[in-house]
Structure 1
């Protein structure tokens, strides 16, 4: 028996050229303006502090200008370039992308989540990096750094696993700390399902948490404007909502499949002129709804 010929290996196209290029700022066209309001933001200050303390870690990303040879479009790194320009620099090393679509590039960027930042801080501390230097690079004081180090104390590992790559407000973990581990998992799962990660939402879930699921050492402040009867009602409705969300989540796949089948079936029916004529004469309200269902984009739905 002859061996089967080896299948050709498909080459994967690289998103960037293999070497960085040095460019003058005057040759780079920004795709958006760095406004005075942005320059006053916390993010801008953190990037500026990081560059001053440890230098530029991630080069900006550029692409060839499609209409102007010798010029480049800035896909990512507007704040870094603005900061370096303000420091007197006139050139920078950049990554050259093979795709000039800024949206395509930026939508694939995974921003640093609160838990990831926490783990990064712990690793730097383990490597004996002075806490004062870590704080300066993050543009925070040492006391805030200490709080970030202790952020996950009292949080159960399962809840951390749910939220590890989510854009969670760091204050959320202070709220979760008031709950027992099982309730922490429920709240973390509900936040992921609802795609809401604010401390306000976490406090609302805490207010709807039964007293038996709050740790005895925690003494949460009384919620303004809520009586005990209203809190009991919130607890009952929150538990009901949690059950309904989980039920909807578990049935989503089957429901979506049924929608696809029903949509296809109705679309075939509406291709029959006799059926359309009958519905127009006898059941016009059905015809309107059938057409609406047949036109649904099932992926968007």
Structure 2
């Protein structure tokens, strides 16, 4: 069995600010931004929950390169931290980590809050740090209760309304996955669309049947028809996506063959004399292919 390479060391390393080199230039008035003030308030109240991500130094006495956490790094320096917790990346390609980071993702926010609670931070203190009320903290803690792991994985890097998760919880796992994939394929992660999908869901795929008055709404049948049409289009799109590489290869080979045919003077003269419409079609395909390549 092939071993999976671990991207980060498990234990944080505490580094001084002088040992870390930032790789991004932040805005001049960063400290006036709402996000900056919120993060600063959180660090002041409960400390660092998520360590910075850095690369291993290239040699002795070389600095650690900061991959992720530039705003936190600036705040920690401003607050006078002399030791900063960092996770060491074993992959020195900085873009690899940054490509997948989205700190505002709803699922990640849930894990951050849960992690803080597990470390002993009380809900009131956490609410003050995040500028939220206690009820919001409680709701965020329960965000993924009843959500199947496949949906969590699909939505882990998305910033969406928490209300969508509460709508999905009313469905059985197989329907949760189906609706999530449908919303993602259309890039329509809105509460309104999630509610429409819920209303068109068969009772056998629901945790508990919906109110009959809601289900009998005349517009529900229209929404269901649209959903079926979209599902059909989604399946067609998936089929095209899966066959794209093979179809492209076949097209390249066919165009190459046609190009060789038309470069043969004898064949070209024959086609010009007896089948000009076929030659015209061949030349049009070759021209279109050359435009696509350019």
* TM-score, normalised via structure 2 length: 0.65
Structure 2 residue 222 is matched with structure 1 residue 233: yes
CA contact (8 A) 1:28 1:73 kept: yes
Structure 1 CA distance, aligned partners of 2:70 and 2:130? Answer: 19
CA contact (8 A) 2:148 2:176 kept: no
Which residue is equivalent to 1:3? none
Once the two structures are superposed, the pairs formed by residues 142-291 of structure 1 within 5 Å of their partners are 142-153=134-145, 155-157=146-148, 160-161=151-152, 163=154, 165-169=156-160, 170-177=162-169, 183-203=175-195, 205-206=197-198, 209=200, 215-217=209-211, 231-250=220-239, 252-272=241-261, 273-274=263-264, 278=271, 282=277, 283-291=279-287
The 3-state SS of whatever aligns with 2:52 is coil
- Going from structure 1 to structure 2, the CA distance change for 1:39 and 1:180 (only over 3 Å counts) comes to farther
Which residue is equivalent to 1:8? none
Compare the two structures and name the one with the higher helix fraction. 2
Once the two structures are superposed, the pairs formed by residues 86-125 of structure 1 within 5 Å of their partners are 86-88=78-80, 102-109=94-101, 111=103, 113-119=105-111, 121-122=113-114, 125=117
Consecutive unaligned residues of structure 1, counting only runs of 5 or more, are 1-11, 222-227
How far apart are residue 122 of structure 1 and its match? 4.7
Of residues 259-268 and 279-288 in structure 1, the stretch that sits farther from structure 2 once superposed is 279-288
Structure 1 CA distance, aligned partners of 2:135 and 2:158? Answer: 23
Instruction: Tell me how large the CA RMSD over aligned residues is.
Output: 4.8
How far apart are residue 82 of structure 1 and its match? 2.5
Of residues 105-114 and 141-150 in structure 1, the stretch that sits farther from structure 2 once superposed is 105-114
> What are the Cα deviations for residues 138-196 of structure 1, in whole angstroms up to 9, with x where unaligned?
4433211111123235x453663553534151221133345566543321121243454
* Aligned pair partner of 2:25 in 25, 28, 32: 32
Consecutive unaligned residues of structure 2, counting only runs of 5 or more, are none
How far apart are residue 241 of structure 1 and its match? 1.1
How far apart are residue 79 of structure 1 and its match? 0.7
How far apart are residue 260 of structure 1 and its match? 1.9
Structure 2 residue 92 is matched with structure 1 residue 132: no
- Aligned residues between the structures: 272
The 3-state SS of whatever aligns with 1:197 is coil
How far apart are residue 58 of structure 1 and its match? 1.3
Structure 2 CA distance, aligned partners of 1:13 and 1:114? Answer: 25
Of residues 165-174 and 141-150 in structure 1, the stretch that sits farther from structure 2 once superposed is 165-174
- Going from structure 1 to structure 2, the CA distance change for 1:104 and 1:151 (only over 3 Å counts) comes to closer
The 3-state SS of whatever aligns with 1:61 is strand
